Structure 1
Amino acid sequence: MRRVMDIDLRLLRVFVAVAEAGGYSGAQTTLNIGSSTISLHMSDLEERIGFRLCDRGRHGFRLTERGRLAYEEIKRVLTTLDDFTGRMAGLRKRLAGKLLLGMVDCLSTHPNFPLTAVIRRFNEMDNDVQIELTVAPRMELERAVLAGHLHAAIVPYLRPINGLAFRPVFRERHELYCGQGHPLFEAGATPISRAEIVDYDFVVRAYNEQFDLSRFARARTPATVSSMEAMLVLLLTGGYLGLLPDHYAQDWVARGLLKRVYSDEFGYDSPHMLITATAAKAPVAVSTFISLIDAHVAEVPTASG
């Protein structure tokens, strides 16, 4: 196999785009080149590295086992190169490179959500930084930051994790909700006992299942979701009870389609943190972004949304 320096970086970026798009067709928009050109680039890369990266056929596109491992390594190399570009620009007192950020879904309606204001401030600085923002489940974001695929992400805090630093950002209030047509929709603001509430069907969150099941002990849980958006869809059917952040539910409550189910036992505050890798030396663009996050949090009240 040739040395990495002998392999055109464009070929590596083509492969990453293909892997993340799940095939040649999906990568065309990202790369702004045709499928036949992508195929030529992929063949060239496979010839240079000496093994097959992916299979295409009647069963669809898939990475080979070595292709999957190569993707992880190439992604790490490209992130390192982007960080190097940023550090070199930092020596010229100019922000450059990439800023790779992540967040869980349905945070943008929180009154203390920091990313919009912080990125606006960041973009007011003289910079040549490419920002990429990923929305994904908490565990996926934690793994991405640990692996160096993301520089930072905003996630709910559950426990300390070796290799990750946690910065408090805001707190999110979760309450029990039901949709129009549910028997408890007209219950009013008088607290309802747990014994009455657990007679109804609940939705649990796959990414927080043990936590939900502990709160809904002895209740029926015939539905599972993997995002807040999916939780909202099921609650709007009127057939279930489930937990939603107040800030995300409030528009639907105002429209008369959702209602909070009042109980002293189900609501809770979820602290959200900015996570970064402790082992990584942050490029100037990343350290600048983190300092803006810290300044924003210091300026904004810490009440739950």
Structure 2
Amino acid sequence: MKQVSDIDLRLLRVFVVVVEARGFAAAESYLNVSTSTISIHISNLEKRIGIRLCERGRGGFKLTERGAIVYEESKRILKSLDDYAGKIASVKSLLAGRLVIGMSDALVTHPHFAISEAVRRFNQSANEVRFQLAVAPMQDLESDVVDGRIHAAIGPFPRTKSSLNYIPLFMEQHDLFCGEGHPLFNASRKLITKTDISAFPAVLRSFRQEFDRDQFGTVREEASVSTIEAMLILLLTGSYIGFLPRHYAKPWVDAGKLFRLGEDQFSYDSQHALITRQGHRESLALSKFVDLVKEITLERRRLDSE
């Protein structure tokens, strides 16, 4: 491949999606094309490059050693092109390029969560920006922003890093819950103690295990989750206790499916912030989006305080 054409770039994007989806079949829904078409694209790319990129068949999908190198270089090239488009657009004062925003899960019901409104207002101005939203654990969000895979992220980041900028946005209150059918369901909150909850199976969050253990004290650790939605699913079985954001749990509490344990002794507040990469010149699109998120969050906080 002496020169890279538009066709080559399209094939590289298909290749990156296939690798990240871990196979042709799984990539169908992302690319909206059939497995056979994806196979043709990858074969054409291999012919253009002159090497075999992956093994596929009964043994499953697996990158070759050279294919892994091509994958990393493809990501770098495609990201550079997206960033280039954004920077050129900034020079022309045109909002353009790709904007990748990350967030922790189960935030959409928080009254101060601003991404939906920020995108709506952003799109009221003429732009050629392609938004991409990514939901991921806190640690992945931090590393992805540092590495430049995403441009900004919203989530709880208890420890600051010198490589990131932090803009505090809102507090999120978390409570201890159990589901309908649990022995503590509808028990008097005033009478529930740490000793009481230590007798029951608990779900720990993989991203906050040590914190959870400190909150529970002696605990019967019988399940773990990596997302808030997974926690909700297990709590609704009535077999466990675990932490959920109050705003996220509210619909199930109102429906009589979840019960908040204790009064405030098991509650805590989590600070959520917007992070961007330190020392990196922001594109015009990213700067506008960050300003909108700050503006909308402040508006909603003011309304709550009135």
Structure 2-normalised TM-score? 0.91
Does the 8 A contact of 1:193 with 1:263 survive in 2?
Answer: no
Residue segments in structure 1 that go unaligned for 5+ positions in a row: none
* C-alpha contact 2:178 2:259 (8 A) present in aligned 1: yes
User: 1:78-123, CA deviations, whole angstroms, 9 ceiling, x for partnerless residues?
Assistant: 1221121122222332211111111111110001111111111111
Deviates more, 1:40-49 or 1:258-267: 40-49
C-alpha spacing 1:252/1:33, structure 2 compared with 1 (3 Å): closer
* Corresponding residue of 1:238: 238
Q: 1:24 to 1:108 in 2, by over 3 A?
A: same
Q: Residue 106 of structure 1 corresponds to which residue in structure 2? A: 106
Cα displacement string for residues 167-204 of structure 1 (whole angstroms, at most 9, x for unaligned residues): 11211000111111111112133252212221221110
Matches within 5 A, 1:281-300: 281-300=281-300
Deviation at 1:4, TM superposition (A): 5.5
User: 1:78-157 residue pairs with structure 2 within 5 A?
Assistant: 78-157=78-157
Corresponding residue for residue 201 of structure 2 = 201
Deviations 1:33-68 (A, max 9, x none): 443443333233334445432211212112234433
For the structure 1 residues 140 and 68, does the alpha-carbon distance in structure 2 shift closer, same or farther, using more than 3 Å as the test? farther
Amino acid at match of 1:211: F
Q: d(CA) in 2 for partners of 1:37 and 1:16?
A: 15
Any conservation in 1 of the 2:138–2:157 contact (CA below 8 Å)? no
- 1:214 is aligned to 214
**Alignment correspondent of 2:23:** 23
Secondary structure of 2:123's aligned partner: helix
SS at match of 1:41: helix
Cα distance in 2, alignment partners of residues 285 and 125 from structure 1: 11
Match in the other structure for 1:275: 275
Cα pair distance change 1:6/1:238, threshold 3 Å? closer
**Which 4+ residue blocks in structure 1 deviate beyond 6 angstroms?**
none
Structure 2 counterpart of 1:229, one-letter code: E
Asked if 2 retains the 8 angstrom alpha-carbon contact of 1:101 and 1:133, the reply is: yes
Q: What is the DSSP-based 3-state SS (H/G/I as helix, E as strand, rest coil) of the residue aligned with 1:301?
A: helix
Letter in structure 2 aligned against 1:240: Y
Q: Secondary structure at the match of 1:266?
A: coil
Displacement, 1:69?
Answer: 4.2
In structure 2, how many angstroms separate the alpha carbons of the residues matched to 1:161 and 1:70? 31
Letter in 1 for 2:289: F
Paired with 1:135 and 1:171, the residues of 2 have a C-alpha distance of: 19
Other-structure match for 1:166: 166
Q: Confirm or deny: 8 A CA contact 2:111 2:300 kept in the other structure.
A: no
Contact kept in structure 1, 2:193 and 2:262, CA below 8 Å: no
Checking the alignment, whether the CA contact within 8 Å between 1:102 and 1:154 is kept in structure 2 is: yes
2:189 alignment partner, SS class = coil
Residue range with higher mean Cα deviation, 39-48 or 256-265: 39-48
Distance change (3 Å), C-alpha of 1:241 and 1:26: closer
Asked if the contact 1:194–1:263 (Cα under 8 Å) also holds between the matched residues in 2, the reply is no
RMSD: 2.3
Distance 2:200 2:232 in 1: 17
Distance 1:280 1:48 in 2: 35
Kindly indicate whether the alpha-carbon contact (under 8 Å) linking 1:114 and 1:293 is maintained by their aligned counterparts in 2: yes
Partner Cα distance (1:96, 1:267) in 2: 43
The 2-side partners of 1:54 and 1:161 are apart by 37
Q: Partners of 1:65 and 1:209 in 2: how far apart?
A: 36
Distance across 1 between alignment mates of 2:267 and 2:69: 42
Q: Which residue of 1 aligns with 2:262?
A: 262
CA change 1:69–1:187 in 2 (3 A) is farther
Unaligned runs of 5+ residues in structure 2 are none
- 2:183 counterpart letter in structure 1: P
Q: Which residue does 1:180 correspond to in 2?
A: 180
Structure 1's 146 and 228: CA in aligned 2 closer, same or farther, altered over 3 A?
same
* Distance apart, 1:276 and its partner CA: 1.3
Q: 1:132 to 1:236 in 2, by over 3 A?
A: same
Identical aligned residues as a percent: 49
Name the structure 2 match of 1:67: 67
- Counterpart CA distance in 2 for 1:224 and 1:49 is 44
Give the TM-score normalised by the residue count of structure 1: 0.91
Matches of 1:29 and 1:220, distance apart in 2 = 40
Give the direction of change, closer, same or farther, for the CA distance of 1:153–1:2 in structure 2 (3 Å limit). same
DSSP 3-state at the match of 2:176: strand
Change (3 A) 1:167 1:260: same
Show the counterpart of 1:39.
39
Quick one: structure 1 residues 62 and 225, their matched pair in 2 at CA, closer, same or farther if it must change by over 3 Å? same
8 A Cα contact 1:191 1:263, kept in partner: no
Distance 1:118 1:103, change over 3 A: same
